[in-house]
Amino acid sequence: MKSILSIDGGGIRGIIPLKVLEYIEGKTNKPIHELFDVIGGTSTGGIIALGLNSKSSNTEAIYSAKDLLKFYTEDAGEIFQEAKREYIELEEKVEADDKLGNPGFRHSTYSSKGIEKYLKEKFGSDTKMSELQPKPDVSVFSYDIQNDCPYYFNSKKARENPNFDDYCVWQAARATSAAPTFFPTARFPEKSNSIFVDGGVYINNPALALLIQAKHLYPYEQKFLLISLGTGSLKVARDLKDAGILGWMISHPGALLDVMMKGASETTHQQLQELVSGNSNSGLKIPSLNQYERYQKELQENIAMDDIKPKTLTKLVNLGEALVNENKNELNELCEVLVKIK
Distance of CA 150 to CAs 35, 140, 279, 317, Å?
A: 28, 11, 30, 32
- What CA–CA distances, in Å, run from 100 to 87, 241, 325? 9, 22, 43
Burial of 126 (0-12, 13-18, 19+ CB in 10 A): exposed
The whole-number average pLDDT for the span 255-260 is: 62
Inform me whether the pLDDT recorded for 181 exceeds 90.
no
* Single pTM value for the model: 0.86
The full DSSP string for 74-95 is HSHHHHTGGGBPPPPB-SSS--
Per the CB < 8 A criterion, the answer to whether 106 and 88 are in contact is: yes
pLDDT band (50, 70, 90) for residue 288? low
Summary mean pLDDT of the chain:
84
Catalytic residues: 43, 198
Q: Which amino acid is at 217?
A: L
Residue 190 CA to residue 177 CA, distance in Å, equals: 20
Domain ranges of the chain: 2-341
For residue 284, pLDDT over 50 is answered with: no
Q: Measured between alpha carbons, how far is 13 from 234 in angstroms, rounded to an integer?
A: 12
Mean predicted confidence (pLDDT) in 286-300:
81
CATH number at 2-341: 3.40.1090.10
Helix or strand holding residue 186 (H, E): strand 186-187
Q: Report d(CA 225, CA 126) in Å as an integer.
A: 34
pLDDT of the residue at 241:
59
